[in-house]
Chain A
């Protein structure tokens, strides 16, 4: 079956702009979670969506937001970009059961200049 697809793979934006990243989960998975990975902070949880509802949110400012559509595809948005937002953004797809695995996409590499 097809894996988790994240688009775009690479993105360069200017400070102050906004960006939208997309994640298409594995068919049948209703849970999508997002993570930010930076060299200094490692992998940090951003938020999780299940059946179009945000169930959990990490400790990130309100500039980071997301949503999930009825087909389980998810988007995350970062407004008023800062240099520190440069990171690899990963999404994971799962059934939400703790006894099953999560599948990660290849990530979107965002560079803010």
Chain B
């Protein structure tokens, strides 16, 4: 069963920041929070991951709540190429499978 909850869709204007929320209230202490995105006609691609602290990389930032029950993926300046389905996933020590929920379809308007 999916352990994360995301809005079905979000819309953003090009070159504006986007905050994609994710709830994971049943997260355990050793679960890592991963974000992947899937562009049309492609396999999912890794975006970012974190455990407790906020993380930044060249693609995005990940803000993790202090109680770790929610997180937010931040795209600092959305481009048309960022239009994709974004998946928030908990990656556990117990198994290596990724349990995908429905994800958030991000639409970027020019």
Known A-B contacts A33-B98, A55-B95, A96-B96; the reply to A101 vs B46 at CB < 8 A is yes
Chain B: residues with Cβ within 8 Å of the partner, total of: 25
Q: Is the interface of B mostly helix, strand, loop or mixed?
A: loop
Set of chain A residues within 8 Å of B32, measured between Cβ atoms: 98-99
Closest to A47 in B: B97
A64 at interface (Cβ–Cβ under 8 A)? no
Interface string of B78-104 (1 = CB under 8 A from A): 000000000100011101111111110
- A43 CA / B31 CA spacing, docked (Å): 20
Q: Complex: how many Å from CA A48 to CA B99?
A: 12
Closest to A100 in B: B49
Interface size on A, residues (CB 8 A): 26
Residues of A within 8 A of B (CB): 4, 31, 33, 35, 42-45, 48, 50, 55-56, 58, 90, 92, 94, 96, 98-99, 101-107
